[in-house]
Amino acid sequence: MALENIKAIFLDMDGTLLHEDNKATVKTKEVIDQLREKNYKVFLATGRSYSEIHSLVPKGFKVDGMISSNGTRGDIEDTILFKHSLTIDSVKKIVQLAQQQHIYYEVFPFEGDRISLIEDQSWMEDMIDSEHPQNEVSESEWKSRRDAMNGKINWRKDIPNDDYSKIYLFNKKLNKIKTFRDELIQNKVLLNISVSNSSRFNAETMAYQVDKGTGIKEMIDHFDIKQEETLVIGDSDNDRAMFEFGGYTVSMKNARPEIQSITDDTTQYTNEEDGAALYLEQHFLN
C-alpha cells in the first residue's frame, strides 16, 4: 500500500513516542505540528488513561484526537466521543483474583485518581519499594509504579460504584504474571473483559471486545476516514489490535522481533532516539 493514500496517523505512547523517562520530546511535538499543518490527522492511541496523558507531553502539544486506556475512551478536544466502561462486577472479581495471587493492581476510573484497596497497601508497597528488579522490567514501567506509590493511588476501603476504563496488573516475576494473564484470557467471556498487555510483566483488562483497533475504528468513522487511509506506529503487545486494523503498520526498532514481524515496516531508530518522529518526518515531510 502506498503512503500517499494516508490521511490519519495513530501513535502509541509508551515505547513509541515516550522515552524511558516517560516523556515525549519537543522534536516529536514539532513533527506532529507540521503533519497537522499539511492536513494529516494525527491521533494518540495509548494504553494510558486520559488523565495521565497531559503530564507526559511538552507544553502546547496538540493532536486531532486521543484514544486512551486501550480503546476504551476517545476524546476530540473537550468532547468525549466514546466511552466503554468495565462493569463494576468485573472490576470486583478481577481485584479479588489479584489479591488472592498477590498481583499488584491499579483500578482506573474515567475521571480522577486510580484506586487500590487499603488492605493491600502494605504488600503492594513492599513489592515496589524494593530495588529495581534485575530482569527485563523496563525503567519506565518501574518508574510508573514508584510514581503510583508516591501519591498517584487513591487507597480506598472499597471500590466505589463508578465507571472504570481499565485495570492495570503487574508482577515482577515473569512466570507469575504470564500465568495470571493467561487465566484472565481463558475467562474473558465469563469476566466480561478484554485482556491486553503493554509489557511482558503486566496485564490490562478493559471492557469486553474493546481494544486499540476498535478505538481507531470509532475515531475514523467520526472523521469519515477509510481504514486503508490509516497509518499506525507502535511497539508492543497492546498494539497488535492496532496493527491488525491499520492500513499501513509500522513497528519501532525497539519492538521485540515477534512484533516487528507482523508490521509492514520498522523505524530506523528507537523511541529513545525519537524514531517515530524521524520516520514520519522522512516519509511525510521531506
234, three cell numbers: 507502535
Q: What is the CA 112 to chain-centroid distance, rounded?
A: 18
Say whether pLDDT at 1 is over 70. Answer: no
**Overall CATH class of domain 88-207:** alpha beta
What's the pLDDT tens digit per position in 199-237? Answer: 999 999 999 999 999 999 999 999 999 999 999 999 999
- Whether the CB-CB separation of 214 and 71 falls below 8 Å is answered with yes
pLDDT of residue 135: 79
- Topology classification of domain 3-83+211-285: Rossmann fold (3.40.50)
Q: What is the CA 269 to chain-centroid distance, rounded?
A: 21
Task: Answer whether 0.75 is exceeded by the pTM.
Answer: yes
pLDDT of residue 132: 82
Mean pLDDT for 45-64 is 95
Edge-to-edge strands, sheet with 8-11: 79-83, 73-76, 65-68, 41-45, 8-11, 230-234, 248-251, 265-266
Segments making up each domain of the chain, as ranges = 3-83+211-285, 88-207
Rounded CA-CA distance 128/130 in Å is: 5
